[in-house]
Amino acid sequence: MLHSLLQLGDKYFMWNEGPMIWTSDVLIVLTSLGIIGVLTYLKRWNWLWKEWLTTVDHKKIGIMYIIAAFAMFFRGGMDGLIIRAQLAVPNNQFLNAEHYDQVFTTHGTIMILFMAMPFIIGLMNIAVPLQIGARDVAFPYLNALSFWLFFFAALLFNISFVIGGSPDAGWTSYAPLAGPFYDTGVGENYYLISLQITGIGTIATGINFLVTILKMRAPGMTLMKMPMFTWSILVTSIIIIFAFPVLTVTLALLMFDRLFGAQFFSVTHGGLPMMWANLFWIWGHPEVYIVILPAFGVFSEVVSTFSHKRLFGYKAMVVSMVAIAILSFTTWVHHFFTMGAGASVNSFFSFSTMLIAVPTGVKMFNWLFTMYKGRIQFTTSMLWALAFIPNFLIGGLTGVMLAVAPADYQYHNSYFLVAHFHYVLIAGTVFGVFSGLYYWWPKMFGHILNEKIGKWAFWIFMISFNMTFMPMYFLGLMGMTRRMYTYPAGLGWGPLNMIETIGALGMGLGFVVMVYDIVYSIRHPEKDLTGDPWDGRTLEWSIPSPAPEYNFAVIPEVKGIDAYWMMKHPKGQEPEPTKAVDKSKIRPIHMPNNSYRPFIISVAFFVAGFGFIWQWYWLGIPGLIVVVIGLFLRSFEYDDEHFISTEEIVQTETAAGRL
Amino acid sequence: MSGQPSHEGFPWKHVIGFVLSILLTVMALWLVFSMQLPVSTEIVSILVLAVFQVLIQLLLFMHLTERDGPAYHVISLIFGAFIAFTIVGGSIWIMAFRSMVS
């Protein structure tokens, strides 16, 4: 009896792999019990269900995205630390090669798809409707569905660590290595199916925000009067809509290979393994612009606000973002120059890649000119934006070096490349979302994050970041290749690797200090009573903090770029009392109802996904049937809206001091 | 907000489009699995079916013929055509080296 139980444990839970798995099992069980215990003890189940799990409010969905992103940052960061622990000294045997493969695979996949993406989608959920003077996104129900699909996909991906084994073919999951012949077991199935599920959510988000921005702007806000962050999200949504379907198809093809014996990417039966790299990067390259353009948008807002100046070169900013969006679809081959395509192919894609540096450079100069002669205020948010410029520049310029196809034969898959993409993704995306988090936190929670602790977190993280990744450029030039699990002594790589590991620990410490800042600020809140703590320029600062459920009691009239700034400083007349709401203009507000269905549909997707991963079709097919029932019921739902009465709005606005 | 209060009868257009699009997919599968055609004939027939599929999507689901407000759909169609051309044409061009190495 016990023996057969242990055998099952070895088969499904990998108990034969030692203490790391056992510790994870124990920690997961304890954490789950802890969460259940606390919720039961505080009698918060009902609150959780009514206020959060069924909500369709864009602000709450945004907050949940960011909480999930923080959790995933922790998970991906731990993977990073484990990688650095293994590489700290030569000939290290802390991990074996197989475990090392799994760790760098989950590190990359989680950081891109389950950390960067949700963090950015979280910020856009919070800021975009408020910036354009809307009361929610165009499709609030779909928005909730997007979030829960992402959430359960992330859960599905993460449980691979303790149930069945993690994927181990790299975050790019190249065929034929990731195909059924070379990679048996369920790990790659976890990768394919959880990415597929979160991809559905992301496509829905792209459509949702495209329609929201095109259709729901306040009167007077023409496209060329939109805040720059909203512009960046508009462009990002378009890239999402055109890029993510490619990922969907690509994942589906490999899934057919692995589950149903198709031969799309096989070596022997007429398949074309290199087509995987081609298709993956047709999505993968636009994907990096999906995570960087919103960060550019955040920097535009933050730099302009804290320089107390209008953004320099608004039109040039817009044009360069549109140019980046178009070019992003024409550069994908630079990820596999060494595959063997002809000289003309490599020259073309080399040229198109270098071309991207032009609009990016335009944006860089515009931020610098925005700051020129401005009254710069060094808040934490601004520090992240300032640090972005030199650090991202290092990443960008080494990117141009990598774009030179003949030279790339030297750099390809070396640590030089690893350093480059960490410099652009961390100094771009991560600095961007942290900047945005400190900037919009008051609007989310009604209090400011402690600036002093925040600056400590910034300096620790930023210096450690350079310590971790700067030596990688040199290691790459010294010949260290990517994804090697250990290296012999005597090559002179040891000291630099040790510096990197110390730097990685420093980044971990910076993250902990930032989490401490959040906890400290919640316990000792510095309340934002004005709704406009930074002397902001865009509409989100014209309403109370935290924003009321309906956002705007009265939809504002927009007269130009920086709409709220113009309300505060009208030309040629006395400043109006901009805070006050005109009571005579308040009407009942039409709002969408909460719905439990997005949550249930996503649970069903999770169950179905789990079934398909293990090829348990008795589980997978019923899961999909529940999904279809959920969609069907939604089609016949007519009563999904309610009104907030005038009295209730008056009450809320009075409490916020607006009436 | 979600859903318009006015409903214009039964959505026949969508149901017909849905059935037709599934039918076209099944036909493509059937061509490959059940018919013993030369490869070039198979590819051409799948392409023809794909053109019909595109037309169904554009006419029955994507409201190509309805005009209301700014011409966003023209811009997005042009951009979509550009992306499709880049992906298909680019992939063929990139993968052409295979005929030289294998």
Same structural domain, A116 and A16: no
- Residue window 38-67, chain B: list those with CB within 8 Å of chain A: none
- Is residue A282 less than 8 Å (CB to CB) from chain B? yes
Same structural domain, A145 and A172: yes
The average confidence (pLDDT) of chain A is 94
Residue range A308-356, pLDDT digits in tens: 999 999 999 999 999 999 999 999 999 999 988 889 999 999 999 999 9
Other CB atoms within 10 Å distance of the CB of residue A659: 17
- Is residue B11 less than 8 Å (CB to CB) from chain A? no
Q: Is B97–A345 a contact, with Cβ atoms under 8 angstroms apart? A: yes
Find the distance separating the first CA and the last CA of chain B, reported in whole Å. Answer: 56
Q: Is B87–A246 a contact, with Cβ atoms under 8 angstroms apart? A: yes
ipTM of the complex: 0.86
| Residue A572: per-residue pLDDT | 67
Residue A413 counted as domain residue: yes
**Angstroms from B1 CA to nearest CA on chain A:** 6
When pLDDT is cut at 50, 70 and 90, the band that residue B13 belongs to is confident
Same structural domain, B46 and B12: yes
Q: Which residues from chain A sit within 8 angstroms of residue B86, using beta carbons?
A: 329-330
- Residue window 69-88, chain B: list those with CB within 8 Å of chain A: 72, 79-80, 82-83, 86-87
Q: Which residues from chain B sit within 8 angstroms of residue A140, using beta carbons?
A: 1-2
Same structural domain, B74 and B56: no
For residues B102 and A38, the model is more confident at: A38
Q: Is A591–B94 a contact, with Cβ atoms under 8 angstroms apart? A: no
For the ranges A255-264, A488-497, A580-589, which has the lowest average pLDDT?
A: A580-589
A331's tokens: 């550069």
| Residue A578: per-residue pLDDT | 60
pLDDT of residue B5 exceeding 50, the answer is no
φ/ψ (deg, to 5) at A384: -60, -40
| Residue A398: per-residue pLDDT | 96
- Is residue B25 less than 8 Å (CB to CB) from chain A? no
- Is residue A329 less than 8 Å (CB to CB) from chain B? yes
A589: left (phi over 0), alpha (psi -120 to 50) or beta: beta
pLDDT of residue A39 exceeding 60, the answer is yes
| Residue A344: per-residue pLDDT | 92
* Substitution target from A137, A329, A352 for chain B, most B beta carbons within 10 A: A329
Please tell me the pTM assigned to this model: 0.95
Residue range A355-410, pLDDT digits in tens: 999 999 999 999 999 999 999 999 999 999 999 999 999 999 999 999 999 999 99
For the ranges A337-341, A444-448, A596-600, which has the lowest average pLDDT?
A: A337-341
**Angstroms from A560 CA to nearest CA on chain B:** 21
Q: Which residues from chain B sit within 8 angstroms of residue A341, using beta carbons?
A: 94-97
A550's tokens: 């309906």
Residue B1 counted as domain residue: no
Q: Is A275–B91 a contact, with Cβ atoms under 8 angstroms apart? A: yes
Q: Which residues from chain B sit within 8 angstroms of residue A640, using beta carbons?
A: 2-3
Same structural domain, B18 and B48: yes
Same structural domain, B38 and B74: no
Interatomic CA distance for residues A242 and A206, integer angstroms: 9
pLDDT of residue B101 exceeding 60, the answer is no
Q: Which residues from chain B sit within 8 angstroms of residue A141, using beta carbons?
A: 2
Return the amino acid letter for A144.
A
Same structural domain, B40 and B74: no
Same structural domain, B56 and B83: no
Same structural domain, A376 and A512: yes
- Is residue B97 less than 8 Å (CB to CB) from chain A? yes
For residues A306 and B67, the model is more confident at: A306
For residue A636, the enclosing domain spans 44-654
Residue B51 counted as domain residue: yes
Same structural domain, B60 and B93: no
Name the residue among A136, A242, A345 with its Cβ closest to that of B94: A345
Interatomic CA distance for residues A149 and A620, integer angstroms: 16
Same structural domain, B75 and B60: no
pLDDT of residue A583 exceeding 90, the answer is no
Q: Which residues from chain B sit within 8 angstroms of residue A274, using beta carbons?
A: 95, 98
- Mean pLDDT confidence for A544-565: 92
Q: Domain tally for chain A?
A: 2
For residue B77, the enclosing domain spans 68-102
Residue B60 counted as domain residue: yes
Q: Quick one: which of A555, A525, A550, A526 has its CA closest to A651?
A: A550
When pLDDT is cut at 50, 70 and 90, the band that residue A584 belongs to is confident
- Is residue B10 less than 8 Å (CB to CB) from chain A? no
- Beta carbons of A298 and A441 less than 8 angstroms apart: no
Helix A343-371 vs helix A273-307: crossing angle, to nearest 10: 10
Same structural domain, A333 and A305: yes
Same structural domain, B61 and B100: no
Name the residue among B1, B82, B90 with its Cβ closest to that of A590: B1
Q: Which residues from chain A sit within 8 angstroms of residue B82, using beta carbons?
A: 326, 329
Q: Is A272–B98 a contact, with Cβ atoms under 8 angstroms apart? A: yes
Residue of A nearest to B71 (CA): A214
Residue A119 counted as domain residue: yes
φ/ψ (deg, to 5) at A481: -100, 155
Residue range A112-140, pLDDT digits in tens: 999 999 999 999 999 999 999 999 999 99
Same structural domain, A54 and A28: no
Residue range A192-224, pLDDT digits in tens: 999 999 999 999 999 999 999 999 999 999 999
Q: Is A638–B83 a contact, with Cβ atoms under 8 angstroms apart? A: no
- Beta carbons of A101 and A496 less than 8 angstroms apart: no
- Mean pLDDT confidence for A134-148: 96
* Substitution target from B1, B54, B63, B68 for chain A, most A beta carbons within 10 A: B1
Q: Domain tally for chain B?
A: 2
Residue A483 counted as domain residue: yes
- Mean pLDDT confidence for A520-546: 93
The strand pairing partners of A590, in sequence order, are A643
Dihedral sign for Cα atoms in the order A62, A64, A70, A73: negative
When pLDDT is cut at 50, 70 and 90, the band that residue A576 belongs to is low
Count of pairs with CB atoms under 8 A, one residue in A, one in B: 58
Q: Is B83–A242 a contact, with Cβ atoms under 8 angstroms apart? A: yes
In the block, residue with structure tokens 């808040």: A379
Same structural domain, A39 and A183: no
pLDDT of residue A171 exceeding 80, the answer is yes
Q: Quick one: which of A202, A118, A188 has its CA closest to A157?
A: A188
For the ranges A6-20, A385-399, A432-446, A462-476, which has the lowest average pLDDT?
A: A6-20
Same structural domain, A37 and A110: no
A412 Cα distance to chain centroid: 26
The strand pairing partners of A526, in sequence order, are A448
- Is residue A214 less than 8 Å (CB to CB) from chain B? yes
pLDDT of residue A513 exceeding 60, the answer is yes
For residues A434 and B31, the model is more confident at: A434
| Residue B4: per-residue pLDDT | 45
Find the distance separating the first CA and the last CA of chain A, reported in whole Å. Answer: 72
Q: Mapping DSSP to helix (H, G, I), strand (E, B) and coil, where does residue A401 land? A: helix
Q: What percent of chain B has pLDDT over 90?
A: 41
The strand pairing partners of A642, in sequence order, are A591
